[in-house]
Amino acid sequence: MEGQGLRDSAQQFADLGAVILGASFDTPADNLAFAAAQEYPFRLLSDIDQTVGRAYEVSRPADHRYARFPRRYSYLIDTDGIIRRAYDVTDVEHHAEHVLHDLRELLADAAE
């Protein structure tokens, strides 16, 4: 799962000044328990009513078999709140390294 890759790369993200946040449609208590079980060093936000999920286009239709679960997407958002990259997470094993690569590129471009 992509969360484990982000967990394992959390220090690299922090060293680059990035903050990792996760989100799900689960309750705060469920997220807290899941984050503890996975040893996530980042927060998991609860979007029980799927308001944020709809805004970020990760919600599924209400009649979808997996409507309770958001689609696997990640966003690289800059300090101004602008989405710089969107990822349809299909390669969970290498997802964190892809995001780190893009983050480094964005930071290098900003430094020029």
pLDDT of residue 69: 93
Would you kindly state where each structural domain of the chain is located, as residue ranges? 2-111
Query: Could you give the CA distance from residue 53 to residue 45 in angstroms, rounded to a whole number?
Result: 11
pLDDT of residue 12: 97
For the cut 90, the answer to whether the pLDDT of residue 97 exceeds it is: yes
Please compute the mean of the pLDDT values over residues 95-105 and round it to a whole number: 96
For the cut 80, the answer to whether the pLDDT of residue 1 exceeds it is: no
pLDDT digits (tens, 9 = 90+) for 10-61: 999 999 999 999 999 999 999 999 999 999 999 999 999 999 999 999 999 9
pLDDT digits (tens, 9 = 90+) for 52-89: 999 999 999 999 999 999 999 999 999 999 999 999 99
Q: Does domain 2-111 have CATH number 3.40.30.10?
A: yes
Which pTM value belongs to this model?
0.88
pLDDT of residue 2: 82
CB 40 within 8 A of CB 21: no
| Distance in angstroms between the alpha carbons of the first and the last residue of the chain | 35
Query: Could you give the CA distance from residue 23 to residue 49 in angstroms, rounded to a whole number?
Result: 12
Question: What secondary structure letter does DSSP report for 64?
Answer: S
